[in-house]
Amino acid sequence: MSLGVVVFLVMAIVIVLSAWGVVVARNPVRSALSLVINFFTLALLYFGMHIDLLGISQILVYTGLIMMLFLFCILLLNLGAPDTLFEQSLFKRSVAWFIGGVLVLAVASQVIGPLAVADAGPSAPQGFGEAGSVGKALFTGWVYAFEIASVLLLVGIVGSILLAKRRD
Amino acid sequence: MEGVPLYGYILLSALMFAIGTAGVIIKRNPIIIFMCIELMLNAANLSFLAFAKYHTAPLATTALEKWNVHMTGQMAVVFVMAVAAAEVAVGLGIIMAIFRMRHGVDIDEMSAMRG
Amino acid sequence: MLETLAATEPAQGDSVWWALLRIAIMLGFVLAIVPGLIWWERRLLSWFQDRIGPNRVGPFGLLQPIADGVKLFFKEDITPATVDRLLYFLAPAIALFPAFAIWATIPWGPDARLTPIADVDVAILYILAISSLGVYGLFLGGWASNNKYSLLGGLRSAAQMVSYELAMGVALACVILATGSLRLTEVVSMQFEPLWGVVPWMQNWFILTPWGFVAGVIFLITMVAETNRAPFDLPEAESELISGFHTEYSSMKFAVFFMGEYATMLAFSSIFAAVFLGGWSPLPLNWEYLALRANDAGIPWLAGGLTFIGGPIAAPIWMVGKMFGGITFYVWLRATLPRLRYDQLMNLGWKYLLPVAALNFVVVAIWMQFGWFALLGALVVLFLLYVNIVVFLARGRRDGDDEMLTLVNPQAHTEKTIEVSRS
């Protein structure tokens, strides 16, 4: 095993365990922290894949802002208190893990065979994840999608302000 | 990370997605369900980026087309991030509004829109 | 991650040993200078208040921080009974991590082998990303303490840092737009060009350009808010929240929070120096050009001196000097301004700084396209910033007088007017 594979395995284990932690943690704050670790490790994984800009965006957007909003809401609603909801339904839980397991098996059975045969290693050219190339692509081929996304964000802002506003 | 095969990333992504799915089914706290949805979105992001890096683009002929094939996956991730940000802002706003109205956050009891 | 950093580095100094040396220099400097900062802050603050300050331990009281450290080290480490143990222990470490990680992309001098640790092509985004992680330590410390005041402090720090992060991001985006690069080393070297492209003997420090001045002022305000320092120290407002998020922390855990705060202050000072104050150049003078002219005039010793001042050996000295200038600015603010009220804090961030920063962004675009023509736009933005701040301060003063409550005493038939401040 090369060093790259070892690093990947370590990161993968951290990612899976922290994702698991999101679901099994009793306390919502612990859940959220587990997700923060997950997103941060994903960003490191992106750095390892030489996708610098999106890795940094992952930290900036997900761990920096989105998870902070989640934690803020959890604390504001005081869901971190010990008397929060207990997840007791054993039946539901077993069904859920069954569905999850089937999902993984289905993907694995379809993916491993063909990809292992066709695998020729990474084909991306040098510097395809750099800020410059991503920015250029964003403002040439994908400029309409970019503008639509900005309108969507604007609508999101207006919507969340309307929702959060107290009507007396 | 040289030497990692493509299916390694895809399997990791599938595992994340499955855990997220299970979380959405099991959990009753809407905020945690929301976080599990974010987990699933990130699983999709990971596979997008893995394919962006490994795709061989057999149909692309010119250099520009080949380049665009590699960019497509990253663009999808950029837009997923934008959508996720908007979604979180609105979704958490809704949860806060519901909480203010009903003083409880059990998702099984939120059935106000059921006729 | 190391792999990526190594891959994006310039070829010079591209080995593990050089990388380790860079990390060692940076860490050693930060760890060694933080006690000095604490001493400097205490002395300066006492001069502001017409006191002497700590002057008993060592010459000029220089050993006072070490004595403080020893004291904190030997104090009893109290863990309250009802805390969330794991997160209570982890929170100081989480607070310290971004304070040191943020140094990775800050350049100190022209020598690429010694600094910065990683010259990545997303350096400015990296700084924003890492500084946004800084809030977790405070937030978790506040939550894990299981104490109402701590929790309030944590909530406040979260709201404050997310709000000011936006204005800071837009202010830095102006610089990114002007330089066309996310590399901090390139941002610095862009400032060594002739001033405004026309004055050959001066350097184009961004603080000297109209848009850069606005962006610099916004960055300066937001960086104080990001580090939770006075007048933005609401998360630890001692008159309201005891000491906010670190109320329950004692001994070394408290010291770690403290150290993280000072390291972050120093980091932001150096970022401000690198982005707006021309990095490692002591004055906005074009040293090479001046040395050339001195040579032409037949004064070789002057030329040599000018080359040395602008050269790689003196560079870290100027950088450290600018960092100390930043810290002095922090202390000056702390000694001068009263703490903002919570609604004032939010208003300043969202209604004043963010719109001005966004407008400034447009001005930069016009400046890039039309050059001098943009001066007009920049003046408009400057005027708006000024009006904004004046209006903001006036509002803060007027708020208390706005609401008069008239109480009528039916027995005495006299009207009393009592001022009720909204709090």
DSSP for C276-303? TS-TT-SSSB-HHHHHHHHHHTT-HHHH
Touching A: which chains, 3+ CB pairs < 8 A? B, C
Residues with pLDDT less than 70, chain C: 1-14, 371-375, 377-378, 393-423
> What tokens does C113 get?
């082998």
For residue B34, count other CB atoms closer than 10 A to its CB.
21
Contact A52 C3 (CB under 8 A): no
Find chain C residues with C-beta within 8 A of A135's C-beta.
none
Residues C227 and C160: their CA atoms lie apart, in Å, by: 10
Residues B67 and B113: their CA atoms lie apart, in Å, by: 48
Touching C: which chains, 3+ CB pairs < 8 A? A
Q: What are the φ/ψ torsions at residue C278 (nearest 5 degrees)? A: 70, 25
pLDDT at C411: 55
Q: Which amino acid is at A11?
A: M
- Give me the residue from A50, A53, A68 closest to C158, CB to CB: A68
What integer is the mean pLDDT of A77-87? 57
Q: C51 Cβ partners below 8 Å, 6+ apart?
A: none
Cite the DSSP H helix spans in C180-286.
184-190, 210-226, 238-241, 251-275
pLDDT at A42: 92
Residue C155 in contact with partner chain A when CB distance is under 8 A: yes
**Local confidence band at A89 (pLDDT 50, 70, 90 cut-offs):** low
Q: Which amino acid is at A79?
A: L
pLDDT at position A129 over 70: yes
For A142-162, how does the pLDDT look when each residue is reduced to its tens digit (9 = 90+)?
889 889 999 999 998 888 888
Surface of A (51-110) touching B: CB under 8 A: 51, 54, 57-58, 61-62, 65-66, 69-70, 73-74, 76-77, 79, 84-85, 87, 92-93, 95-97, 99-101, 103-104, 107-108
Residue A130 in contact with partner chain C when CB distance is under 8 A: yes
Find chain B residues with C-beta within 8 A of A120's C-beta.
56
For C140-171, how does the pLDDT look when each residue is reduced to its tens digit (9 = 90+)?
888 888 888 888 888 888 888 888 888 999 99
The residue assigned the tokens 């922090």 is C330
> What tokens does B67 get?
């380049």
Chain A residue nearest residue C91, CA to CA? A33
Instruction: Say if CB C392 and CB C352 are below 8 A apart.
Output: yes
Compute the nearest-CA separation of A142 from chain B (Å).
8
Instruction: Say if CB B56 and CB A120 are below 8 A apart.
Output: yes
State ipTM. Answer: 0.84
pLDDT at C406: 45
Closest CA to C105 of C238, C236, C275: C275
What integer is the mean pLDDT of A49-56? 87
pLDDT at C149: 86
> What tokens does C67 get?
């004595």
Residues A120 and A4: their CA atoms lie apart, in Å, by: 16
Q: What are the φ/ψ torsions at residue A87 (nearest 5 degrees)? A: -95, 105
For B104-115, how does the pLDDT look when each residue is reduced to its tens digit (9 = 90+)?
666 666 666 554
Between C123-144 and A28-48, two packed helices, what is the crossing angle to 10 degrees?
160
Query: Please, what is the Cα angle at C395 between C389 and C401, to 5 degrees?
Result: 155
The residue assigned the tokens 């960019």 is B71
Closest CA to C21 of C111, C125, C131, C98: C111
The residue assigned the tokens 């309307």 is A162
Instruction: Say if CB A99 and CB B3 are below 8 A apart.
Output: no
pLDDT at A3: 81
Instruction: Say if CB C323 and CB C272 are below 8 A apart.
Output: no
For A26-38, how does the pLDDT look when each residue is reduced to its tens digit (9 = 90+)?
788 888 889 999 9
Name which residue leads in pLDDT, C418 or B87: B87
H-run or E-run covering B43: helix B30-54
| Disruptive mutation site among A47, A78, A154, A161 for chain C (greatest number of C CBs within 10 Å) | A47
B85: left (phi over 0), alpha (psi -120 to 50) or beta: alpha
Number of residues in chain A: 168
Closest CA to C144 of C260, C259, C257, C264: C257
User: Cis peptide leading into C10, omega within 30 of 0?
Assistant: no
pLDDT at A87: 55
Residue A134 in contact with partner chain C when CB distance is under 8 A: no
The residue assigned the tokens 């957007």 is A61
Name which residue leads in pLDDT, A120 or C279: C279
Query: Please, what is the Cα angle at A120 between A118 and A121, to 5 degrees?
Result: 130
Find chain A residues with C-beta within 8 A of C87's C-beta.
29-30, 33
- Give me the residue from A61, A142, A152 closest to B75, CB to CB: A142
Find chain C residues with C-beta within 8 A of A75's C-beta.
143, 151, 154-155
The residue assigned the tokens 């848009």 is C211
pLDDT at C401: 47
- Listed ranges A68-72, B71-75, C262-266; the one with the highest mean pLDDT: C262-266
Contact A68 C135 (CB under 8 A): yes
Residues C225 and C76: their CA atoms lie apart, in Å, by: 32
Instruction: Say if CB C168 and CB C226 are below 8 A apart.
Output: yes
pLDDT at B44: 92
Closest CA to C149 of C258, C250, C259, C238: C238
Q: Which amino acid is at C97?
A: F
Residues C93 and C89: their CA atoms lie apart, in Å, by: 8
Q: Residue C414: helix, strand or coil by DSSP?
A: strand
Residues C98 and C388: their CA atoms lie apart, in Å, by: 32
Residues C183 and C395: their CA atoms lie apart, in Å, by: 40
User: What Cα–Cα distance (Å) separates residue A26 from each residue in A20, A32, A68, A80, C260?
Assistant: 12, 11, 19, 10, 31
Whole-model pTM: value is: 0.84
Touching B: which chains, 3+ CB pairs < 8 A? A
Residues A14 and A43: their CA atoms lie apart, in Å, by: 12
